[in-house]
A and B are shown apart, each in its own frame.
Chain A
Amino acid sequence: MTRAAEIVKGAPAVDCRPWPRHILTMDQWAELAREPLVLLAAWADTVQVHALYRDGQSVVPVSIEPDAAFYPALSPYHPSARLFERTIRDLWGHMAAGGDDGAWLDHGHWPHSKPLSIRPGPRPPTADPPEFLPVEDDRLMHWPIGPVGSGVGEAYHLRLTLDGSRIVRAESRLGYTHKGILTLMRAKSPRIAARFAARLAGDGTVAHSIAFARATEAAMSVEAPPRAAALRTLMLHLERVATHLDDLGIVAGMAGSADAQGRSGVQQEYLRRGLAATFGHRLMMDVVVPGGVSADADAIGLSGMRQVLGAVLAEVPILDALFATGALAARLTGVGDCAAGDAVRRCQARLDAIHRDTEAAIALLTDLPEGPLTVALPAESGEGIGWAPSARGGIWHWLRLDHGQIAAVFPRDPGWDLWPMAEAALAGQDAGDAALICASFGLPVSGMDL
């Protein structure tokens, strides 16, 4: 038994499927935080604060009831908890004692504060301008980027502190695209709420939909039929290929390689046309639903998909050569270097993923089981966790159902991990490379702005 399992053993548990959720005391919560586990997410509901840890192969959801709105902070032990704590403060009003209590999603423009708490607070008297760390040195200057940034992309604010052209510090401020999705999903049936889950992130709509559907199915103890499960896996592979191609094209364009940009763009576009022919939507939005899939794949579309994927597979070695040697590789080498490698490493990892996902998708095409597409969803109460690997990283959804309606939900986007990583990678780099570095991480915004 691991240390984490020992700590939670005696605590009362809620029947969350597939992993029971333990309600911890303040001491147990703090003790678990000190263990060397991976913190996947931290969120809350009206009465409890939750954390999701990974302990080796197992996943450990735990909760704590705040004492007079305060709970022990996780950020002293898990730096990645910082943004979660600020989000919990903004949406539910629970404060992390000893943690970060700055605003994150709430910029002072909503009609009321703490929108997800039992009693939302009054609107703050003045709008809250983003706060950044002070600069003491006269030689340093601030370079604000966004939220209306250059290019066609997502909305975020990045504040670079520069010494000449060198980035000394990079601070991000998100929350601009906050759409109140958690409130919109509440008190709806999973089938209706799936439309919001599908619109958390357009580049990961299938992955978010699958994670949400799996969480719902776990809570209701049902399973999607084999054909639906296979089609979901196929769509997940295809979405990852398309998103990686999109990311590669953006990076190539910024790095000045029209060749690599054009090639990724063409493959992506043919793939999207194939997706429209097969699944009825270029991004495959709303195809994955709780209980299965909303429509069967078109047979002619599927046979065309084989050719499309063959063309992608033939293009991979050419793109590989472009990104591994020559001017493009030279431009990207050492750019945004961090513990997770530099821009070249990240591009090559994307190409490897494209190769793997394309081969997996081709294999699935020849081996799709027949059968029904959905199972009926019972109007039951329960709690579940679902997971799906997107192009950007792991997506986790937790939800609690009350007689078939959503009582509370939280989707964890990979952006929570990527932004702190990108901030660290920007430090020490040239300011002119900032946009390229951000693009090489493929930073998602909408999914974590909720």
Chain B
Amino acid sequence: MLKLPARRPPLPGAELPDPIDGDTVAALVERLDMASQRRLGRALAIRHVNTGSCNGCEMEVRALTGVLYDLTRFGLRFVDSPLHADVLVVTGPLTRNLRQALEQAWDATPDPKWVVALGDCAVDGGVFRGSYAVMDGVGTGVPVNLTISGCPPSPVRILSGLRALLEASSR
């Protein structure tokens, strides 16, 4: 059985580290920025929002996170909260019953943020266009930056779209 050390309260009169020189930090940030932007590109955190999808797009997006496509190697990963996200990947024709949920998710996502409308439904309502229960596409609720068409789009197609976003965002 692993024994964890008991947490110790800070000692009274413990030494505080010297304040960090502002210029050093600024210089380091500049060098890191140049190196990471050029060599490492950017990492994007993605939050999936379902706005009435049939679960077809979800299966293809899930395939992306699997071992064969391994999305994480491109610096793309799915996060559980819009608070942690740079990108909202939205599937479904945007049903009226989910409009508020999408708007709340968008509001909760910190700037700068991107919205990807994934699948024919999300692009313009798809086959459900014109129904009393749908808003005819994600763009009617929040501003869309990228559309990926297909019913559903294949994992390769989704991956190209997301990588394009990655390239664009690191410029």
Contact = CB atoms under 8 A, between A and B. Distances in A.
Contacts of B131: 179-181, 183-184
A207 interface: no
B137 interface: no
Interface stretch (A143-151, A217-225, A312-320): A143-151
Contacts of B128: 179-181, 184, 199
A178 B133 contact: yes
A73 B162 CA distance: 50
Interface of A: 107, 109-112, 115, 147-148, 150-155, 175-181, 183-184, 195-196, 199-203, 205, 246, 249-250, 261-262, 265-266, 268-269, 272, 276, 282-283, 285, 444-447, 449
Contacts of B52: 155, 176-179, 446, 449
Given A150-B80, A203-B59, A176 B132 contact: no
A147 B100 CA distance: 10
8 contacts: A115-B132, A154-B53, A154-B55, A180-B128, A183-B132, A262-B66, A265-B67, A444-B55
B58 interface: yes
B101 A176 contact: yes
A150 B46 CA distance: 12
Interface SS majority for chain B: mixed
Interface SS majority for chain A: loop
Interface in B143-171: 151-152, 154-155
A202 B57 contact: yes
Interface string B56-74: 1111111101111100000
Nearest to B92: A177
Contacts of A176: 52, 95, 97-98, 101
Contacts of A155: 50-53, 92, 98, 101
Interface in B35-93: 48-63, 65-69, 78, 80-82, 92-93
B66 A269 contact: yes
Interface in B90-148: 92-93, 95-102, 104-105, 127-128, 130-134
Contacts of B58: 152-154, 202
A177 B132 contact: no
A316 B68 CA distance: 19
A49 B98 CA distance: 29
A202 B56 contact: yes
Contact of B63 (A147, A200, A205, A272): A272
Nearest to A208: B54
Contacts of A111: 132
Nearest to B50: A155
A321 B66 CA distance: 21
A282 B131 CA distance: 27
Nearest to B60: A282
Contacts of B95: 176-179
A176 B65 CA distance: 25
A377 to B, nearest CB: 20
A179 B134 contact: yes
A201 B98 CA distance: 18
